[in-house]
Chains A and B, each alone.
Chain A
Amino acid sequence: METQYLGEHLGFGQFGNILLIISFVASLLSAFAYLFKVIRKADQDAWLRLGRIAFAFHGVAVIGIVALIYYLIQLHYFEYHYVWQHSSSILPTKYMWACLWEGQEGSFLIWTFWHVVLCSVIRWKGGEWEAPVMLFMMMIQVFLASMLLGLEFGHIKIGSNPFILLRNHESFANLPFIHMPDYLSKIKDGRGLNPLLQNYWMVIHPPTLFLGFASTAIPFAFAMAGLVTGKVKEWVKPALPWAYFSVGILGVGILMGGAWAYEALSFGGFWAWDPVENASLVPWLTMVGAAHVMLINKKNGTSLLSTFILTTVSFVLVLYSTFLTRSGILGETSVHAFTDLGMTGQLILYMVYFLVLSLVLIIYNWKKLKAPEEDEKVSSREFWIFMGMLVLVISAVQITITTSIPVINKMFDTKMAPPADAIDFYNSWQLPLAVVISILIAIGQYFKWRESDMKVVLKKLSLSFIIAIIIAGVFEYIFRFPRFQHVFLLFSSIWAFTSNLDYLIRVIKGKINYSGSSIAHMGIALILLGALISNAEKQVISRNVLNIDLGKDFPNAENILLYQHDTLAMGEYYLSYKGKEKDGVNIYYEIEYFKANHTTGQLEKVFSLKPIVQINERMGNVSEPATAHFFNKDIYTHITYADLDEKPTTEESEEYKKPKEYTIKTGDTLTTSNSLVVYEGLNKTIDKKELFLGDEDLAVGAQFRVIDVNKKNYTTQPVFIIKGTSTFTKESEIKELGLKFAFSKIIPEENKILISIAEKKTNSKEFVIMKAIIFPQINILWTGCILMMLGSFIAVRKRILDLKDN
């Protein structure tokens, strides 16, 4: 007989499973209906109607699944594995949405959901493009819906079901207690949302990024629709606003991720060339390339093949990025990769399918796609845009190859590892490329389509060029950049900004409809400039100034120890560690920043920061930085190490900790929490009378030199005694340092001795080890982000207006 489990709410799950099946079957049906609408001459209306009805069912099912999972999370129905794994009953409501997309199933779901939203726009506004575009979008939905099916055929697993019950999940099925009828009463709470993700950026960053990912599918679907209907050029115009939309929204999603990393992670910056970051940056780069060649094609009909290649590549790279982060292949190379859910094969199939489909369609239409014989002139705008696209592609290739090292290892069974200093390696390639890109951004718009008078172009560029040189000169005078490449990027990014501002004022004359590209390019220029200054000129003020030479392998002295109530000078500030406070899983360390007032000679408090160490059961203890924001700089403070054990509260406590034993030979150095201990050798001339020993007894001293933090020397000598058959030790003590030494054994065959050292408990004063970094001018970067977003959406609006004009 089957066990009757108590307290379960199985109806929701059964309903959810029905919705999953509806979403899959309806997308398949819709794809076929739209296919017949496109390729068949007869019954077109009927097929179109069927396609729409099936899409409606699919859309309602997907929205239903999202709503149902959110509802289950709110009700804390922990019999569902997904709810148990990603939420808990103590979680604040504002983070409940984050639970929804914390897991892989949820992130596939949110992706599917955005496709439904975007498809709805195509469904009602697509006109003649509805059927062929929906055909490809629905194919994509078939694959995505299958990711959530959770069907198993022998060893083949299709998808991972978000409604699986806790007791049926593979990691619980073999636990005995789970098969008791009242197992639910034993499960008090869910595992909860990873505390690291309980941050407002995590509520808005993932859905924005997934909307960005989803949006790359539309230009791809348009391109494929163009090939399948034989309208190989006409698709570009209606697809153009979508391409700009994708550039804008994906860019914003990526930058939000950077903002989250900057605020909540301890990278020490907003960008670390982490594989997961790279995986979302690369499709953005190619999408920017795609949007630009589509623009060229719309203006003069050239670069047609590039539009197909780049839209396909952008979409497939989004799939590849999903594959990289979801297959567990990144392993050790990333701080935040998902583990394998057994869907690797499915993801590869998905990529290969769309890549092959695109190739077949391109080859089938090859004759129509051949480039016109006419060569683009060097003085044409399209030539320079095309150059820019090529630079973006090179940048994307470099990032992809380096990020794919684990994939290369898997394919060729090699043992390559990422470059030892990966950030430096990426920068050494990307920085020169950024210089070229920003110069192209500066000059591009001054060329006319097809052909322009070079003299006019140079004349128009001269003003912004001169202003840029002056501004760059001022910045260089202030900052003194360490490398000459930095100076190039400094100038080129400033020029990109001034030249686009000049274009906006003098050429466009501030007409808002035409300002999108200038504003977006100004934004990119500021992002590059802000990234350059805040990174190249970041100043670690927590320099360890102790004169301990660590040798060339140990250049890092960026962490500094701060005792409670002590004050240390760092840069222009004086820092003091005031104390700590525990709140839930977080321990807040209050660090006060003072500045010296030169008139009074007093230290005045400027601000205080509370970086966090989070006791995180799931990720290990994590430290979250705290940052003070000023208009011209950020001061970032981060606890790199803190002793989480409780300390004795009274300073006078005479208690000693458990002694530690050491086996040592002459010349060895030991460390205690407050000193270095050097063993200088045995002393065989101990005055035995003083110890009340006879001549036949043996007494040997061990001589130690002890050096404290202030370089003060002490000597001490514990004595080892053999009296008859028994051995004793006479302890010695250094009161000032709270250290006790005992000499307990001689090991003559190894020429070593055994000693032990005990420390007073109060020796370890409360302290933190922290890192403090000043990021100058980082607000330039965030201003750039806002401009880029604004510019992109003005451009989207302009292209939509263009469509309506015709």
Chain B
Amino acid sequence: MKKIHIIGIVVIAVALAVIVSTISSSSTYAPFSTALQHSGKTYHVVGKVNLKKEFIYNPEINANVFGFYLIDNEGAEKKVMYNGTKPQDFERSEQIVVVGKMDGDEFHASQVLMKCPSKYNGNAQDQMKTIGSAS
């Protein structure tokens, strides 16, 4: 067997290890109900912030905890406690993703990913808003 073959096998083995490790350490997009069934396991939950309910943020007592209510895509609402400061302009977020796990009836999030109202290219609605305020 030539060296190149041995090396080839090693490379393929490493590539397989990459795939396996990616799959095994990947998280899953899931609704609260799934996260509740497997509490203690980390999930990505996609949902909309319930803007009617108040945010829980008392920076003068603890700047590193921010709470809010999130309605997931199945319509279930849970209180989310996020380990961090209240993201700037959180009120304007439309859809968000929280990364974390259920603890009792609360979702403990280590990350909150916000989808801004518009990214580099705004959507039509957003543009109309701007025009409206300009004229």
A and B are partners in one complex rather than unrelated chains = yes
Residues of A within 8 A of B (CB): 85, 102-104, 170-172, 175, 177, 186-189, 191, 194, 331-333, 336-339, 341, 375-376, 378, 383, 387, 390, 393-394, 397-398, 401-402, 405, 415-421, 425, 429, 544, 546, 548, 550, 553-561, 613, 617-623, 640-641, 671-676, 709, 764, 767, 769
Instruction: Tell me, in angstroms, the Cα distance from A548 to B61 when the chains sit together.
Output: 9
Instruction: Tell me, in angstroms, the Cα distance from A362 to B20 when the chains sit together.
Output: 31
Please state if B119 and A175 are interface contacts (CB–CB under 8 Å).
no
| Sample (12) of A-B pairs whose CB atoms are under 8 Å apart | A171-B124, A186-B135, A191-B127, A394-B11, A402-B22, A550-B65, A553-B103, A620-B114, A640-B84, A640-B85, A641-B85, A767-B60
Instruction: Tell me, in angstroms, the Cα distance from A676 to B62 when the chains sit together.
Output: 11
The answer to whether B51 has its CB under 8 Å from any CB of chain A is no
Give the residue of A188, A383, A420, A672 whose beta carbon is less than 8 angstroms from that of B135.
Answer: A188
Residue among A376, A378, A415, A621 facing the most chain B CB atoms (10 A cut-off): A415
Contact with A along B1-16 (1 / 0, CB 8 A): 0111001000100110
Q: Inside 8 A of A555's CB, which chain B residues have their CB?
A: 83
Please state if B120 and A559 are interface contacts (CB–CB under 8 Å).
no
The 10 closest A-B pairs by CB, nearest first: A171-B124, A620-B89, A417-B44, A553-B108, A417-B27, A640-B85, A621-B88, A641-B85, A621-B89, A554-B83
Please state if B85 and A394 are interface contacts (CB–CB under 8 Å).
no
Which chain B residue shows the least CB distance to A266?
A: B88
Q: Inside 8 A of A709's CB, which chain B residues have their CB?
A: 60-61
Please state if B3 and A191 are interface contacts (CB–CB under 8 Å).
no
Please state if B25 and A425 are interface contacts (CB–CB under 8 Å).
yes
Residue among B89, B113, B123 facing the most chain A CB atoms (10 A cut-off): B89
Q: How far is the CB of B54 from chain A (nearest CB, A)?
A: 8
Contacts A394-B15, A417-B28, A553-B103 given; 8 further ones with Cβ under 8 A? Answer: A175-B131, A398-B22, A405-B26, A548-B61, A554-B81, A620-B88, A671-B56, A769-B63
Please state if B118 and A769 are interface contacts (CB–CB under 8 Å).
no
Q: How far is the CB of B103 from chain A (nearest CB, A)?
A: 6
Please state if B4 and A375 are interface contacts (CB–CB under 8 Å).
yes
Please state if B63 and A560 are interface contacts (CB–CB under 8 Å).
yes
Instruction: Tell me, in angstroms, the Cα distance from A595 to B43 when the chains sit together.
Output: 44
Which chain B residue shows the least CB distance to A325?
A: B120
Please state if B89 and A339 are interface contacts (CB–CB under 8 Å).
no
Please state if A397 and B18 are interface contacts (CB–CB under 8 Å).
yes
Instruction: Tell me, in angstroms, the Cα distance from A333 to B111 when the chains sit together.
Output: 12
Q: Inside 8 A of B135's CB, which chain A residues have their CB?
A: 177, 186-188
Q: Inside 8 A of B64's CB, which chain A residues have their CB?
A: 544, 550, 554, 556-559
Q: How far is the CB of A714 from chain B (nearest CB, A)?
A: 15
Please state if B121 and A556 are interface contacts (CB–CB under 8 Å).
no
Q: Inside 8 A of A557's CB, which chain B residues have their CB?
A: 64
Q: Inside 8 A of A429's CB, which chain B residues have their CB?
A: 18, 21
Q: Inside 8 A of B108's CB, which chain A residues have their CB?
A: 553-554
Contact with A along B96-116 (1 / 0, CB 8 A): 010111010000101101111
Give the residue of A186, A338, A383, A558 whose beta carbon is less than 8 angstroms from that of B119.
Answer: A338
Q: Inside 8 A of A104's CB, which chain B residues have their CB?
A: 120-121
Instruction: Tell me, in angstroms, the Cα distance from A16 to B18 when the chains sit together.
Output: 48
Residue among A390, A398, A417, A561 facing the most chain B CB atoms (10 A cut-off): A417
Instruction: Tell me, in angstroms, the Cα distance from A331 to B26 when the chains sit together.
Output: 17
Please state if B100 and A620 are interface contacts (CB–CB under 8 Å).
no
The answer to whether B93 has its CB under 8 Å from any CB of chain A is yes
Instruction: Tell me, in angstroms, the Cα distance from A283 to B25 when the chains sit together.
Output: 25
Q: How far is the CB of A277 from chain B (nearest CB, A)?
A: 16
The answer to whether B68 has its CB under 8 Å from any CB of chain A is no
Q: Inside 8 A of A560's CB, which chain B residues have their CB?
A: 63
Instruction: Tell me, in angstroms, the Cα distance from A414 to B61 when the chains sit together.
Output: 42
The answer to whether B75 has its CB under 8 Å from any CB of chain A is no
Please state if A546 and B62 are interface contacts (CB–CB under 8 Å).
yes
Main secondary structure of the interface of B (DSSP, over half): mixed
Q: How far is the CB of A643 from chain B (nearest CB, A)?
A: 8
* Known contacts A390-B7, A415-B28, A553-B110; A339 and B121 CB within 8 A of each other: yes
Q: Inside 8 A of A622's CB, which chain B residues have their CB?
A: 88
Q: How far is the CB of A735 from chain B (nearest CB, A)?
A: 18
Within 8 A of A (CB), among B15-48: 15, 18-19, 21-23, 25-30, 42-44, 46
Instruction: Tell me, in angstroms, the Cα distance from A375 to B58 when the chains sit together.
Output: 69
Please state if A416 and B23 are interface contacts (CB–CB under 8 Å).
yes
* Known contacts A171-B128, A620-B88; A561 and B110 CB within 8 A of each other: no
Give the residue of B19, B92, B120 whose beta carbon is less than 8 angstroms from that of A102.
Answer: B120
Q: Inside 8 A of B63's CB, which chain A residues have their CB?
A: 544, 559-561, 640-641, 769
Residue among A103, A191, A548 facing the most chain B CB atoms (10 A cut-off): A191
Q: How far is the CB of A408 from chain B (nearest CB, A)?
A: 9
Instruction: Tell me, in angstroms, the Cα distance from A558 to B21 when the chains sit together.
Output: 30
Instruction: Tell me, in angstroms, the Cα distance from A421 to B27 when the chains sit together.
Output: 9
Q: How far is the CB of A282 from chain B (nearest CB, A)?
A: 13
Give the residue of B22, B113, B122, B124 whose beta carbon is less than 8 angstroms from that of A618.
Answer: B122
* Known contacts A418-B27, A420-B99; A618 and B118 CB within 8 A of each other: yes
Give the residue of A175, A402, A673 whose beta carbon is less than 8 angstroms from that of B58.
Answer: A673
Give the residue of B25, B101, B116, B127 whose beta carbon is less than 8 angstroms from that of A171.
Answer: B127
* Known contacts A170-B124, A339-B120, A375-B2; A401 and B19 CB within 8 A of each other: yes
Q: Inside 8 A of B11's CB, which chain A residues have their CB?
A: 390, 393-394
Q: Inside 8 A of B95's CB, which chain A residues have their CB?
A: 332
Q: Inside 8 A of B131's CB, which chain A residues have their CB?
A: 175, 177, 186-187
Please state if B85 and A620 are interface contacts (CB–CB under 8 Å).
no
Give the residue of A102, A383, A548, A553 whose beta carbon is less than 8 angstroms from that of B62.
Answer: A548
Instruction: Tell me, in angstroms, the Cα distance from A553 to B27 when the chains sit together.
Output: 17
Q: Inside 8 A of B130's CB, which chain A residues have their CB?
A: 191, 617
Please state if B113 and A332 are interface contacts (CB–CB under 8 Å).
yes
Q: Inside 8 A of A398's CB, which chain B residues have their CB?
A: 18, 22
Which chain A residue shows the least CB distance to B117?
A: A620
Q: Inside 8 A of B65's CB, which chain A residues have their CB?
A: 550, 554
* Known contacts A420-B110, A671-B61; A620 and B93 CB within 8 A of each other: yes
Please state if B86 and A641 are interface contacts (CB–CB under 8 Å).
yes
* Known contacts A187-B134, A397-B15; A341 and B89 CB within 8 A of each other: no
Instruction: Tell me, in angstroms, the Cα distance from A546 to B62 when the chains sit together.
Output: 8
Q: How far is the CB of B76 from chain A (nearest CB, A)?
A: 17
Please state if B84 and A332 are interface contacts (CB–CB under 8 Å).
no
Please state if A561 and B127 are interface contacts (CB–CB under 8 Å).
no
Please state if A394 and B18 are interface contacts (CB–CB under 8 Å).
yes
Give the residue of B83, B113, B115, B123 whose beta carbon is less than 8 angstroms from that of A556.
Answer: B83
Q: Inside 8 A of B7's CB, which chain A residues have their CB?
A: 387, 390
Residue among A333, A401, A555 facing the most chain B CB atoms (10 A cut-off): A401
Which chain A residue shows the least CB distance to B124?
A: A171
Instruction: Tell me, in angstroms, the Cα distance from A694 to B28 when the chains sit together.
Output: 65
Which chain A residue shows the least CB distance to B26?
A: A416
Please state if B60 and A561 are interface contacts (CB–CB under 8 Å).
yes
Instruction: Tell me, in angstroms, the Cα distance from A550 to B65 when the chains sit together.
Output: 8
Instruction: Tell me, in angstroms, the Cα distance from A588 to B116 when the chains sit together.
Output: 23
Instruction: Tell me, in angstroms, the Cα distance from A405 to B18 when the chains sit together.
Output: 13
Give the residue of B97, B110, B128 whose beta carbon is less than 8 angstroms from that of A332.
Answer: B97
Q: Inside 8 A of B110's CB, which chain A residues have their CB?
A: 420-421, 553, 556
Please state if A417 and B120 are interface contacts (CB–CB under 8 Å).
no
Instruction: Tell me, in angstroms, the Cα distance from A622 to B88 when the chains sit together.
Output: 7
Give the residue of A375, A418, A421, A620 whose beta carbon is less than 8 angstroms from that of B3.
Answer: A375
Please state if B29 and A415 are interface contacts (CB–CB under 8 Å).
yes
Instruction: Tell me, in angstroms, the Cα distance from A676 to B122 when the chains sit together.
Output: 42
Q: Inside 8 A of B122's CB, which chain A residues have their CB?
A: 85, 191, 618
Q: Inside 8 A of A544's CB, which chain B residues have their CB?
A: 62-64
Q: Inside 8 A of A341's CB, which chain B residues have their CB?
A: 121
Q: How far is the CB of A512 from chain B (nearest CB, A)?
A: 36
Q: Inside 8 A of B43's CB, which chain A residues have their CB?
A: 417
Instruction: Tell me, in angstroms, the Cα distance from A332 to B26 when the chains sit together.
Output: 15
Please state if A613 and B88 are interface contacts (CB–CB under 8 Å).
yes
Q: Inside 8 A of A425's CB, which chain B residues have their CB?
A: 25
Instruction: Tell me, in angstroms, the Cα distance from A428 to B64 when the chains sit together.
Output: 27
Q: How far is the CB of B122 from chain A (nearest CB, A)?
A: 6
Which chain A residue shows the least CB distance to B19?
A: A401
